[in-house]
Amino acid sequence: MTNHWIDIKNSDAVLIMGSNAAEHHPIAFKWITRAKENGAVLMHVDPKFSRTSARCDFHVPLRSGTDVPFLGGMVNYILENGLYFKEYVLSYTNAAFVVGKGYAFKDGLFSGFDSKKRAYDKSKWAFETGPDGVPVIDLTLKNERCVLNLLKKHYSRYTLKNVSDVTGVSRDNLLKVYKAFCATGAPDKAGTMLYALGWTQHTVGAQNIRLSSIVQLLLGNIGVAGGGINALRGEPNVQGSTDHALLYNNLPGYHATPQAQWQTLADYHKANTPVTKVKNSPNWWGNRPKYMVSLLKGWFGDAATPENDFCYGLLPKLEPGQDYSYMYVMDKMYDKKIRGGFIMGVNPMNSFPNTNKMRKALDNLDWLVCSEIHTSETTENWHRPGVDPKKIKTEVFLLPSAHRIEKDGTISNSGRWLQWFDQGVKPGGEARNFADVVVPLINMLRDMYKAEGGTLPEPLLKLHWPDKYDAEEWTRRINGFFWADGKAGDKTYKRGQLVPAFGFLKDDGSTSSLNWIYTGSYTEEEGNKSKRRDAGQTPMQANIGLFPNWSWCWPVNRRILYNRASVDMNGKPWNPEKAVIAWENGKWTGDVPDGPWAPMSEEKGTLPFIMNRDGHAQLYGPGLNDGPFPEHYEPAETPLASHPFSKQLSSPVYKFHTSDMDKMARAADPKYPIVLTTYNLTEHWCGGGETRNVPNLLEAEPQLYVEMSRELAEEKGIKNGDGVVIESIRGRVEAIAMVTVRIRPFKVMGKTVHLVGMPFCFGWTTPKCGDSTNRLTIGAYDPNTTIQESKACLVNVFKAGKLTELG
C-alpha cells in the first residue's frame, strides 16, 4: 500500500476493483465504512455481487479480464473533460516530457516488437534528450510527442461504446463510476483505489496496476491522505517476504539479482545505479551501492572486504532474460530437470494453476522437503486419488511447523508497519519455526564441506552465520551494524553498534544491513521500534489517523509514501483539511516527508518522486515488458473472436508453457463458452490447507461450489444445490451449483457471455469437500511478473451424474 489501512477513512471516493475487501479483509473494511460515514462514495467494480458490493453505494459488474478497458475509459473521460489536476500533473509527473521518435503504436503493437521472441526492444520507447543528456520537457505541451498528448491519443479509442462493448458494463454504469471517482481531481479531494488478486492474476496484471497509477496521478491522488494505490495484501507477511525477497529476481531491499554479465561489483553498480541529469531530482537509487555493499557485509561479515569485492563474486548469477520463477520451476520439474527441493508453508498442489500438470510434475522429484502445520495436497501428493504410491519414487521429508503464537519476530503489514509478536507458548509437539530448520541445516552443510570438501564451499563457509537462531538478533542484523568505529551525524558509534538510519550506510564495508529499507527500525537510542505501543499523535497526525509512535513503518517511519506530492511547490498542502505534511517556518511537520529537502520553490528544493531517476511520476512508463501505456488485450482464453481496440486479440508477449499438459482453448471456442473466475472465502485462507483442518471454519464453509446466474442455470438445466461438473480443456472439477442473482450474464460485443465463479480453497485431503478448482485454470502468465491468469479462463458446466469428489 502507498498509504495504510486507517488512512482509507480519509477518502472521498473509494474504488474497490479486483478485490472483495469485505470478505477477504473484513476487519480492515471498517476503515472503508468509516470513509462512507464521513461522506465518501464507495464503488465496487467486480464480476460478482458480494458483501463488499452490499456495503457500497453501487456495484458495477464487469467481465473478468477487462479492467484495462474500464480504466482506459476513465483516462479518456478525464482527458476529454479536462478533469485532471493540472498543476500536479505538469509539475510532478512526466506529462510534459517529450518521447523519442522511436516510439510508435499501431494496431495493438508498440514499436520494437519481435514476434519470434515475443518480446519488445524497449530502447525504442526512450525519452528524447537534449545534447547534454537532459530529458526534453515542454511545459506548454505544444509538442505532439509530449507524454500527455500521446496519452490522449492512445486512450481516445477507449470510448464509452468500445469500453461498454468489451467490459459488459452499461454506459450508465461506466459514467456513474467515472463521474464519482473523477470528482477527486479537485485539489482538496482524494480518491483511493483498493485492489487484490483480481487485478494481478491476469496476463495484463502489471498493466492493470500501471493504469490505476495513471488515473491516480492524473487526479493528483498519489501522496495525499485518503489517496493512493492500495494493494490489499492477502498473505500474512507477504509485504515482508517481498521486502526480504524470497524471489529469484530480487535481493532484499529491491535490488536486482546479479546476472552473468555483471561479473564484478563495479559492473553491478554501473548497470543498477541510475544517474539523473535533472538538477532537482534526488534520484534516491543513486545510493544503491551503499545498500548493496552493506547487504554483502551483512551476509559475509568480516570475510567481505574491499579487496575481494565484498564476496560479490561468490553469489549466484542469473542468465539474463531467463525466468526462474515458480511456474518455470514446475515446467522444468515436469521435464525431469529438477532433482529435489523445499516447499515450505505453501500448498502449490492446490493453489497453482493447471494443477493436474503440477501434481504430475511433483512425481518427478527424487526428494522433497515440506514444512507444514497440517498435511496438505502437496505433502500427500504421492497418494493422491488415482495414483499408485508404489509407482511414485519421491522421498518426502515432512517437518512439523510452528504456529504464529509459538514464535517471535516481526511481520510487515500491508501498510508497511513493522509489528513485533512475542512467543506465547512453545511449539506444539516437536514443531519448529522455519529458521530453526534452516540455521542448523546450513551448519550441518558447513561441517560436511569442512570434513569432505566439495564443489564451491566458499560461499557457505564464508557466511556470517550463527550457531543458533535468535529472532531478535536477526531483527538487529536486518537493521544493520557498524563494522568499524564510525560517526552518524555528530554522534560516534563503536563497531557492533546499530546503524541509526539508512542515510548512514556506506559502500566501503564499514556498515552492514540485511535490508536497507528497515534500517532505523532498531536503534541504540530507542531499541526495537516494532514493539512500540504508543498511541501518541500531534493534532495534525491525529486528524488523518497517523500513529507515528505505534510500531514502526518502512521507510524511516513514513506512513504515506510520496507525501511530498501532497503539497504544492511552496510546501502548502493541496488539502489543508487533511494535511499529510506541511512546510512551516523552514521545516516539515506531520508525517515523515519523502526526503528532508525543502519544497520545490526554494533554492535547494527537490522533486517529489524521489525513487524515480528524474524525480517525476511516470504517466509514460518505458520499463514494463508489454508497453509504456497499458493496452487492452483479451485474456489468453477469451470468449471473443475480436475486440474493437485492435487486431491484437491477446497480449503479444504473455508467457506460457508448451508441454503436452499445457493446453489452451481457442478464442470463442464453442466447447468452452463460459468465463471462470476464482476467489476465496472469509472462513478459509488461500489453498485452505490450514483452515480446512479447523472444524469450526470447515463447518461454516464445508464444500466446493460454483456460483452461476439463474439464466445460465436455466440454459443448462441446473438447479440450486445440484451436483455439477465444470470442465476446461485442462481438467474437470465437481462442485455444488449455487444459482444466484449475485452473478448476471454479460452483454459483450452483442452476444451473451456467462461467467461462473468458484472458490479455490478446497482440496482432496479434507474428505468430501471437493478438490482443487485450479485443475481448471490456465498456465498463462503476465510477462513482467509471471503471475498466472487465475482470474479468467474458459470452461463449460454440466449437470453431474454421480459425484465422486463431494460427499
Query: Which residues within the stretch 470-529 sit at the binding site for another protein (CB under 8 A)?
Result: 471-472, 474-475, 477-478, 514-515, 518
Binding of residue 653 to another protein (CB under 8 A): no
Left, alpha or beta for 133 (phi > 0: left; psi -120 to 50: alpha)?
A: left
Binding of residue 284 to another protein (CB under 8 A): no
Q: What is the DSSP string of 20-75?
A: -HHHHSTTTHHHHHHHHHTT-EEEEE-SS--HHHHHSSEEE---TT-HHHHHHHHH
Binding of residue 313 to another protein (CB under 8 A): yes
Binding of residue 631 to another protein (CB under 8 A): no
- Comparing CB distances to another protein, the nearer of 442 and 753 is 442
- Comparing CB distances to another protein, the nearer of 281 and 433 is 433
Instruction: Please state, in angstroms and as integers, the Cα–Cα distance from residue 169 to each residue in 163, 166, 200, 209, following that order.
Output: 8, 8, 21, 20
- Comparing CB distances to another protein, the nearer of 141 and 438 is 438
Q: Which stretch binds another protein (CB under 8 A): 147-155, 158-166, 596-604, 676-684?
A: 676-684
- Comparing CB distances to another protein, the nearer of 283 and 381 is 381
Q: With CB under 8 A, what is the number of residues at the site for another protein?
A: 164
| Beta strands 732-739; 723-727: pairing state | antiparallel
The residues in 228-267 that bind another protein, with binding defined as CB under 8 A, are 232-248, 251-252, 257, 260-261, 263
Binding of residue 350 to another protein (CB under 8 A): no
- Comparing CB distances to another protein, the nearer of 102 and 234 is 234
Which residue has 503539497 as its cell numbers?
567
How far is Cα 173 from Cα 70, in angstroms, rounded to an integer?
Answer: 11
For residue 273, give the C-alpha cell.
545505479
Binding of residue 667 to another protein (CB under 8 A): no
The answer to whether the beta carbons of residues 664 and 778 sit under 8 Å apart is yes
Q: Which residues pair with 65 in a beta bridge?
A: none
- Comparing CB distances to another protein, the nearer of 189 and 357 is 357
- Comparing CB distances to another protein, the nearer of 256 and 369 is 369
Q: Which stretch binds another protein (CB under 8 A): 61-69, 124-132, 319-327, 574-582?
A: 319-327
**Which of 126, 141, 329, 501: binder of another protein (CB under 8 A)?**
329
How far apart are CB 329 and another protein at their closest, in Å? Answer: 5
The residues in 679-708 that bind another protein, with binding defined as CB under 8 A, are 682-686, 690-691, 693-697, 700
**Which of 10, 184, 350, 419: binder of another protein (CB under 8 A)?**
419
The residues in 357-416 that bind another protein, with binding defined as CB under 8 A, are 366-367, 369, 371-375, 382-383, 389-401, 403-405, 407, 409-415
Q: CA torsion 574→577→580→584, rounded to 10°?
A: 80
How far is Cα 52 from Cα 43, in angstroms, rounded to an integer?
Answer: 9
The answer to whether the beta carbons of residues 143 and 149 sit under 8 Å apart is yes
How far is Cα 472 from Cα 407, in angstroms, rounded to an integer?
Answer: 11
The residues in 109-138 that bind another protein, with binding defined as CB under 8 A, are none
Binding of residue 30 to another protein (CB under 8 A): yes
The residues in 160-179 that bind another protein, with binding defined as CB under 8 A, are none
The residues in 422-441 that bind another protein, with binding defined as CB under 8 A, are 422-426, 428-435, 437-441
Which long-range contacts does 141-145 make (Cβ < 8 Å, 24+ apart)?
141/95, 141/96, 143/98, 145/98, 145/99, 145/100, 145/101, 145/103
- Comparing CB distances to another protein, the nearer of 212 and 419 is 419
Q: Which residues pair with 799 in a beta bridge?
A: 724
The residues in 727-786 that bind another protein, with binding defined as CB under 8 A, are 785-786
Binding of residue 454 to another protein (CB under 8 A): yes
How far apart are CB 74 and another protein at their closest, in Å? Answer: 27
For residue 744, give the C-alpha cell.
448476471
CA 470 to chain centre: 30
For residue 318, give the C-alpha cell.
542469473
